[in-house]
């Protein structure tokens, strides 16, 4: 970060028609490109007898599946693409801010908002698929009908809080590092950067686990809400 | 507060695309490989389970076979013991029978030999008695023996029924001859005494001839033309021997 500006503002790099392409978008494209290329490189020669690299990839995927199954209590495969991608992308995006000259996409409000929107849509999509439309809508009136407004409001607020938590932690970390670099020098913020790595990993996990919990609550047909 | 809706929209699309890409290039291949390996492991587990079941069945069959061998061995031993005991009992019974038979045969043989020895002893006793009597009689003077036997012959003829005595006399008429056989030669006087006694007992006069046969031991045989009166000891001893042997056989 070469200059101190509004932490909420994103630099527009170019326009594609009416859409302004900002730095977080380009950074996300790079992340997508790297993740896809890495995934392709790791999985294009899979074997029944895995090597060390394949074993590591399978261990990561299996660990994520076990985490999802532990929270939701069902077959994790339908939820794996969304939730695992959420975790992997958030780890990559949060840690990208550590690289010199790179701003973490999650440090801008639009990216956590987009992710929160997708999680919000996925929660209700999985809920309707698991319970049926009316069954799922009826779940908002439990345990009493009077709870309906509060439940609806909580659906929005918890998603909003999830978005703001991610955005605030990443943005504040980057902002503090930028301030320290501007005031103290080049190597002084290194401990803060290490802390930022930890915060990025923790926030990625929190976002992932909250999304998993929300989806688990939506698809829970045992009577819980 | 600034919020860029273009960035929001693009990031939403970007994340959706990333979900699809990772699903396409990461999760699906990895899950497919995990499924393949899991099915392979399950297949191996099933094969191992099948092999284990087969091994257990084989083991059970071997144990059953081993138990059968043991039972068969026990049965064979019991059968062999029973056969041996039966054979021993049969052999013992046969031995007892054979011993009884041998004992019976021995007893029969012993009884026969004893009977034979007893008969032989009797014959020897008779022969000895005859020999003793002959030797003792040989010491008696011939006149005395002739006189004694002439008296006895006379008493015998006198004791005969009249028709029988008349039948004997009838054989001597018309030239019939009476031969008198004695064990020792008679003197002339004794011969005359015999002749007179016989002619007196049988009536009439007839020819009397004298002969000697030491086998008679004592006494005399009277040879009529058609009959013989055995009044000698040889005949008496033979009758005694016959009676004694008949008595022994009867016992």
Contacts of A80 in chain B (CB under 8 A): 27, 31
Strands B219-223 and B228-232: antiparallel
Rounded mean pLDDT of chain A? 88
| Cα–Cα dist B146/B184, whole Å | 9
Query: Could you tell me if residue A5 is inside a domain?
Result: no
Distance CA B130, CA B134 (A): 6
Provide the shortest C-alpha distance from residue A147 to chain B (in Å): 31
Q: What's phi and psi for B207, nearest 5 deg?
A: -80, 135
The mean pLDDT of A126-133, rounded to a whole number, is 92
pLDDT value for A1:
40
Q: Give the pLDDT of residue B1.
A: 63
Beta strands in B113-223, from DSSP E residues, in sequence order? 177-182, 207-212, 219-223
Cβ contacts of B20 on chain A, cutoff 8 Å = 81
In a domain, A2, yes or no: no
The total number of structural domains in chain A stands at 1
Render pLDDT for B158-201 as a digit per residue (tens, 0 to 9). Answer: 888 888 888 888 888 878 888 999 887 888 888 888 888 888 88
Quick check: is A192 in a domain? Answer: yes
Per residue in B145-157, pLDDT tens? 777 788 888 888 8
Q: How far apart are the first and last CA of chain B?
A: 162
Of A136, A221, A192, nearest to A1 (Cα)?
Answer: A192
| Residues B106-156 pLDDT 10s | 998 888 888 888 878 877 887 888 788 778 877 877 667 777 788 888 888
Give, in order, the Cα–Cα distances in Å from A217 to each of A5, A118, A136, B244.
40, 16, 11, 142
* Domain hosting residue A208, numbered range: 12-219
| pLDDT tens digits, one per residue of A67-104 | 999 999 989 999 999 999 999 999 999 999 888 888 89
How does residue A201 score in pLDDT terms, banded at 50, 70 and 90? Answer: very high
Rounded CA-CA distance A140/A123 in Å is 13
- For residue B229, what are the contacts with CB-CB under 8 A and spacing of at least 6? B156, B168, B221, B222
What is the rounded average pLDDT of the residues B30-58? Answer: 92
What tens digit of pLDDT does each residue of B3-13 get? 889 999 999 99
Q: Residues A145-196: pLDDT tens digits?
A: 888 889 899 889 999 999 999 999 998 888 888 888 888 877 777 888 888 8
pLDDT at A3 over 60: no
Contact state of B7 with A81 under an 8 Å Cβ cutoff: no
Assess if residue A49 is contained within a domain. yes
For the residues B40-61, what does the mean pLDDT come to? 93
Q: Is residue A7 part of a domain?
A: no
pLDDT per position as a tens digit, A33-65: 999 999 999 988 888 788 898 899 999 999 999
How are strands ordered across the β-sheet holding B219-223?
B207-212, B177-182, B219-223, B228-232
How many contacts does A have with B, using Cβ atoms within 8 A?
A: 123
Residue A1 lies in a domain: no
pLDDT at A7: 59
Q: Is the pLDDT of residue A17 over 70?
A: yes
Which of A6, A39, A62 comes nearest B26 by C-beta?
A39
* Spacing of C-alpha A92 from chain mean position: 10
CA distance B83 to B247: 55
More confident call, A207 vs B172:
A207
Cα distance between residue A60 and residue A163, in whole Å: 25
Instruction: Return the pLDDT at B130.
Output: 76
B104 CB burial (10 A radius; 0-12, 13-18, 19+): exposed
The tokens of A215 are what? 């989806």
> Smallest CA–CA separation between A42 and chain B, in Å?
8
Q: What pTM was computed for the model?
A: 0.60
Q: Residue B237: what pLDDT? A: 79
Decide if B27 contacts A84 (C-beta within 8 A).
Answer: yes
Give domain status of residue A89, yes or no. Answer: yes
Is A24 in Cβ contact with B11 (below 8 Å)? yes
Strand extents, DSSP E, A90-186: none
Q: Note whether A22 contacts B31, CB cutoff 8 Å.
A: no
Asked if residue A151 belongs to a domain, the reply is yes
Rg (CA), chain B: 66
Res A223: pLDDT? 58
Residues 38-77 of B with CB under 8 A from A: 40
In whole angstroms, what is the distance from residue B98 CA to residue A103 CA? Answer: 126
Residue A121's pLDDT is what? 95
Mutate to test the interface with B, among A48, A61, A93 (most CBs of B within 10 A): A61
């Amino acid at each position: 970060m070469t200059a101190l500006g509004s932490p909420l503002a994103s630099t527009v790099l170019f326009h594609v028609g009416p859409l302004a392409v900002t730095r977080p978008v380009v950074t996300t494209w790079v992340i997508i490109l790297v993740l896809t290329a890495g995934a392709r490189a790791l999985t294009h020669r899979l074997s029944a007898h895995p090597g060390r690299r394949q074993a590591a990839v399978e261990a990561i995927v299996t660990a994520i599946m076990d985490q999802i199954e532990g929270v939701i209590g069902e077959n994790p495969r339908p939820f794996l693409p969304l939730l695992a991608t959420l975790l992997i992308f958030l780890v990559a995006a949060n840690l990208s801010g550590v690289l010199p000259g790179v701003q973490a996409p999650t440090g801008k409000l639009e990216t956590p908002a987009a992710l929160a929107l997708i999680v919000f849509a996925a929660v209700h999509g999985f809920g309707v698929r698991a319970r049926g439309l009316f069954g799922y809508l009826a779940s908002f009136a439990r345990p009493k009908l009077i709870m309906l407004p509060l439940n609806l409001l909580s659906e929005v607020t918890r998603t909003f809080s999830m978005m703001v938590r991610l955005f605030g932690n990443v943005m504040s970390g980057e902002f503090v590092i930028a301030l320290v670099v501007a005031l103290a020098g080049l190597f002084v913020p290194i401990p803060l950067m290490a802390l930022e790595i930890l915060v990025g990993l923790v926030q990625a996990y929190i976002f992932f686990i909250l999304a998993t919990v929300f989806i688990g609550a939506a698809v829970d047909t045992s009577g819980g809400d | 507060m600034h919020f860029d809706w273009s960035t929001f929209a693009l990031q939403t699309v970007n994340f959706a695309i990333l979900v699809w890409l990772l699903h396409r290039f990461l999760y699906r291949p990895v899950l497919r490989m995990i499924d393949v390996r899991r099915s392979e492991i399950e297949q191996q587990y099933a094969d191992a389970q099948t092999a284990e079941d087969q091994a257990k069945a084989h083991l059970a069959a071997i144990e059953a076979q081993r138990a059968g061998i043991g039972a068969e061995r026990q049965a064979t031993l019991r059968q062999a013991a029973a056969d041996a005991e039966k054979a021993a009992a049969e052999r013992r019974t046969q031995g007892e029978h054979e011993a009884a038979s041998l004992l019976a045969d021995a007893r029969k043989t012993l009884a026969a030999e004893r009977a034979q020895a007893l008969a032989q002893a009797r014959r020897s006793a008779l022969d000895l008695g005859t020999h003793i009597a002959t030797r003792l009689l040989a010491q008696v003077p011939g006149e005395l023996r002739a006189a004694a036997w002439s008296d006895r012959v006379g008493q015998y003829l006198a004791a005969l029924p009249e028709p029988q005595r008349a039948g004997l006399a009838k054989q001597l008429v018309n030239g019939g001859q009476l031969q008198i056989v004695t064990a020792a030669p008679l003197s002339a006087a004794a011969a005359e005494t015999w002749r007179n006694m016989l002619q007196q007992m049988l009536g009439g006069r007839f020819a009397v001839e004298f002969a000697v046969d030491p086998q008679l031991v004592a006494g005399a045989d009277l040879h009529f033309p058609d009959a013989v009166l055995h009044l000698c000891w040889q005949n008496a001893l033979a009758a005694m021997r016959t009676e004694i042997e008949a008595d022994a056989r009867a016992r």
